[in-house]
Structure 1
Amino acid sequence: MTAPGPTGGPPPGTGPDPGPDPDRDGAPVAGEPWVAGESLVWCLAAGLVLLALGTLTGRPDVAVIGVPLVLGSLLPLWSRPRGPVWADVDRATGDSSRADGDGDSGRGAGGRPVLRAVLRLVAPPGGDGVRVRVSRPGYEHVEAVVHVPLRRELDLAAASVRTGVQETFTVEHQGIGAGAHLTGPVDRTEPEQVLVLPRGRTMPGLPLPRRLRGLTGQHESRRPGDGGGLRDVHPFSPGDSPRRVDWRVTARRSPDLDELYVRRTVSLAEAVVTLVVDSRDDVGPDPSTWSGQRPIRPDDATSLDLARQAAVTVAEGYLAAGDRVGVEDLGVRRRALRPGAGRRQLDRVVHQLALLRPEGDPPRRLRPPQIPSGALVFVFSTFLDGEAASLAQVWHRHGHRVVAVDVLPRVRQRTLDRRERLALRILTVEREDRMAQVLGAGVEIVHWADPAQATREIQQLARAHRRPGAGVGR
């Protein structure tokens, strides 16, 4: 968290109502009075004592020494500020790889998202500076004394690995008078919430479903049509275009031109992909926090953070190829996003994924969510229970190609005691048996916690799918 210094102006975007504007409404409204510090009180007392002592003893030289002390103490009291310091944290923005209207965004060291905000300070006339303390949940607070010539703007920034709804900055401030002899009342600005959009990784290739749909797209099907590669060479039949006549093949097979031969191509089709995200669990790498009794460290990416990143990576790859992508949430039924294509669909998918979070105890589903026919299903889950695994097997039995993406972070065991290690071992054995059952049922598995391993596994799925046009329904 940093406050590097003044900026040239407010950040882009519009924020919430910042409160009273000194330029519009005049000086901030008067609040609690400013109080004198101990140094000012002692200085005034010493001056009065010297004046009294010089008067009583007839020593004008002693009284003259006390006059500057008294005048120097009364001047700050006479010109003390008449209002409080006004502070406002302008709308913070989360990192995003696309222009989403949330303003400026950036990446910190290591590619972490950076939360940014602008702290606006307005001091009343007579104020010399402001003592500021900025804090954020999970971070150490930062304190600074800032010179505020009536008004000033400071940049606030904090790197984070978390996505979704996040709290921003809490600001405590106190005005300081001339010479630091006067201090104003302490005020506090509560943090607001900001939506940090996830950002995907680069993936060279992605697998395709067993069955492509539609008459447009960038993937070759086995249906005859225009736009694709060579399907075969066939004798001319009614409906064939004369432009497709292959004269070389015709001359070789029918020298007397008794029969013409045409080159037939395959049509292009699109893939339909459904991203099924299990938002019921949001666990970190420390198993001692899985019960919810202890908070997750803010510098630890949770399983839901990994699920958002993996889902955005998959969505960006398919939507860039002209395919259609939809989102299903296993935690809340109202969050279904119908499959669509295009740039706006990518924005909707990213926003939908950023809003995913656990909401109490979700009701058990009596039937799996409806998936479009022939769709490729990605299931993002920790698989700590059997619901996501059973749904993946059901969709596989229905004829869908299903890829189970394991988003459980790498577990840290060095801080666990004996009982916690035993509980983790039992849970790990159950989870491994569940994953083995899913793999044995024909569902393909990708482990996302390791970036290099996840890339290799997805590339293997993309290469081992099929030859162009094979297994595609007419």
Structure 2
Amino acid sequence: MDWSRSRTTLVGVVVGLGLVVVGAFAGRPDVAVLGAAPVVAGFWDWRRRPSTDPAVHVEASTQIPVPGTLRVEAVVASPGPIALVGVRRGLRDVAEVLVAVDGSRRLPVTVHTVRTGPQEVAVVDAQGVGPGAASVSEPSEPSSRTALVLPAPRPLGDLPLPPRLRGLTGAHESRRPGEGGGLRDVHPYAPGDRLRRIDWRVTARRAPDLHELYVRREHALAEAVVVLVVDSRDEVGPDPMTWRGSTAPRPQDPTSLDLARQAAASVASGFLGQGDRVGLDDLGMVRRPLPPGGGRRQLSRIRHALALTHPEGEPLRRLRPPRIPSGALVWLFSTFLDDEAAVVATTWRRAGHRVVAVDVLPTLRDVHLAERERLALRLLRIAREDRLAGLADQDVELVAWRDAPSVALAGLARRTQRRAGASR
């Protein structure tokens, strides 16, 4: 890679030579001396031009990652005292800055993003500037680094429960008698009852002569089994013009899959925080699902699997919906732009599962659309509304993630409490 003269230095040398010639022919030594200074400085700085090329590479940052913020460090090595560092993200030029370089320098690069999943953080290149800015190098080979952005869960309030609870422990009261829950009834003492369960007040009131003892019986605690199903067959943004795939959505616009990842991570965090078991499956790809589990490690697995979920070519048409554990609560995250997700949700509901369909279609922008495009979008909306109405007729509960989901989920949780035996 060759170093070339900078344009400003070349212009200064040419102007200086002109002044020297004019001063010599006009007999003006002062003018000749004035022009000699940039000529001498230009040639001197050109002889001192570096002989090696600048280089740059991007490394991971040592700072603690923050949701929505990506940090890397660009290490710039340049033989010149100054380097012009350019940072690009996608098809946009984010920043271009002149920095002083003493051999090498580490520059922090911070990028704010609303997207999740695998993405390129930034592309960095450097152009060396020689002493006196008399020479410049060609831009170095660009260096980039990719990062896997995990979805950040948002806090949710009350969450609905499945019709049946499972397990011998948990955070919810079941219909079975046991220990740990609320009062079930007061019953005469029977073989197998523990002595510490004797209610002496009731016994004294009903059997003062102690010919019969009464014990307090409680409800047993159980856990909910939840399966999250993400429809990764398509990823659409707020602008319908980008749905054809010829242009990508704007980086500042979260797509439907970004909303699905955040919604699934939030629901998983809410249930796992209560001690329930949560699993994950993908409606768009036929792969081994993440089985239901509990704890903080399960939340980390789910967030990592959600970040890796993305459309992969032409989706396979399923002959049957994914298998769901008995008595599980199913959460389906989809845009419902076609019949596939609606048919699967209806099949699960007919099998006896409680199904919550989460609509993750972003708020659309249609002001800039032409008349034909608005008509096509209107027909698509009509078909989609009919599809969602059909799901409601099949007792599939609907939640729009863009419209205050906490309020809708609290309503579904109250509906759970009104069901006989749902949470008791």
TM-score bucket of the superposed structures, by smaller chain:
over 0.9
Specify the SS of the correspondent of 1:106: coil
**Residue in 2 aligned with 1:122?**
77
Deviation at 1:397, TM superposition (A): 1.1
Check if 1:105 corresponds to 2:59.
Answer: no
| Alignment partner of 2:58 out of 89, 98, 119 | 89
Distance between the aligned counterparts of 1:390 and 1:328, measured in 2?
A: 16
What are the superposed Cα offsets for residues 55-95 of structure 1, whole Å, 9 maximum, x if unpaired? 99999999977875564334323322121112112236xxx
How many residues align structurally? Answer: 424
Distance between the aligned counterparts of 1:225 and 1:48, measured in 2?
A: 101
Check if 1:446 corresponds to 2:399.
Answer: yes
Check if 1:417 corresponds to 2:398.
Answer: no
Check if 1:227 corresponds to 2:197.
Answer: no
Unaligned ranges ≥5, structure 1 = 1-31, 93-101, 108-112
**Residue in 2 aligned with 1:255?**
208
Q: Is the 8 A contact 2:119 2:148 kept in 1?
A: yes
Check if 1:463 corresponds to 2:418.
Answer: no
Q: Is the 8 A contact 2:233 2:283 kept in 1?
A: yes
Check if 1:153 corresponds to 2:106.
Answer: yes
Task: Give the TM-score normalised by structure 2.
Answer: 0.92
Task: Give the TM-score normalised by structure 1.
Answer: 0.83
Distance between the aligned counterparts of 1:47 and 1:288, measured in 2?
A: 56
What are the superposed Cα offsets for residues 217-250 of structure 1, whole Å, 9 maximum, x if unpaired? 1111111111111111110000111111100000
Q: Is the 8 A contact 2:55 2:141 kept in 1?
A: no
| Alignment partner of 2:141 out of 188, 212, 218 | 188
Q: Is the 8 A contact 2:86 2:95 kept in 1?
A: yes
**What amino acid maps onto 2:48 in structure 1?**
S
Unaligned ranges ≥5, structure 2 = none
What are the superposed Cα offsets for residues 264-305 of structure 1, whole Å, 9 maximum, x if unpaired? 111111100000100001111111222212321111111111
**Residue in 2 aligned with 1:9?**
none
**Residue in 2 aligned with 1:404?**
357
Check if 1:34 corresponds to 2:22.
Answer: no
Q: Is the 8 A contact 1:271 1:324 kept in 2?
A: yes
Distance between the aligned counterparts of 1:437 and 1:52, measured in 2?
A: 90
With over 3 angstroms needed to count, the CA separation of the structure-2 counterparts of 1:335 and 1:137, relative to structure 1, is: farther
What are the superposed Cα offsets for residues 2-35 of structure 1, whole Å, 9 maximum, x if unpaired? xxxxxxxxxxxxxxxxxxxxxxxxxxxxxx2322
Deviation at 1:38, TM superposition (A): 4.1
Q: Percent identity over the alignment?
A: 52
Distance between the aligned counterparts of 2:15 and 2:355, measured in 1?
A: 84
Of 413-422 and 43-52, the range deviating more from structure 2: 43-52
Distance between the aligned counterparts of 1:117 and 1:182, measured in 2?
A: 30
Deviation at 1:466, TM superposition (A): 2.5
Q: Is the 8 A contact 1:91 1:117 kept in 2?
A: yes
For residues 428-439 of structure 1, the aligned pairs below 5 Å read 428-439=381-392
Distance between the aligned counterparts of 1:223 and 1:235, measured in 2?
A: 18
**What amino acid maps onto 1:388 in structure 2?**
A
Of 195-204 and 318-327, the range deviating more from structure 2: 195-204
With over 3 angstroms needed to count, the CA separation of the structure-2 counterparts of 1:438 and 1:83, relative to structure 1, is: same
Of 318-327 and 145-154, the range deviating more from structure 2: 145-154
| Alignment partner of 1:317 out of 266, 270, 284 | 270
Deviation at 1:335, TM superposition (A): 5.0
Distance between the aligned counterparts of 2:365 and 2:36, measured in 1?
A: 69
Of 365-374 and 75-84, the range deviating more from structure 2: 75-84
Of 157-166 and 383-392, the range deviating more from structure 2: 157-166
Distance between the aligned counterparts of 1:69 and 1:156, measured in 2?
A: 38
Distance between the aligned counterparts of 1:230 and 1:374, measured in 2?
A: 25
**Residue in 2 aligned with 1:386?**
339
Distance between the aligned counterparts of 1:389 and 1:58, measured in 2?
A: 93
What are the superposed Cα offsets for residues 136-186 of structure 1, whole Å, 9 maximum, x if unpaired? 125443222112122222221222211111122122321001121111121
**What amino acid maps onto 2:96 in structure 1?**
E
For residues 342-361 of structure 1, the aligned pairs below 5 Å read 342-361=295-314
User: What is the RMSD computed on CA atoms of the aligned residues?
Assistant: 2.7
**What amino acid maps onto 1:409 in structure 2?**
P
Distance between the aligned counterparts of 1:39 and 1:116, measured in 2?
A: 36
Distance between the aligned counterparts of 1:145 and 1:255, measured in 2?
A: 94
**What amino acid maps onto 1:104 in structure 2?**
I
Check if 1:78 corresponds to 2:47.
Answer: yes
Check if 1:268 corresponds to 2:221.
Answer: yes
Of 186-195 and 417-426, the range deviating more from structure 2: 186-195
Distance between the aligned counterparts of 1:316 and 1:346, measured in 2?
A: 6
**What amino acid maps onto 1:154 in structure 2?**
L
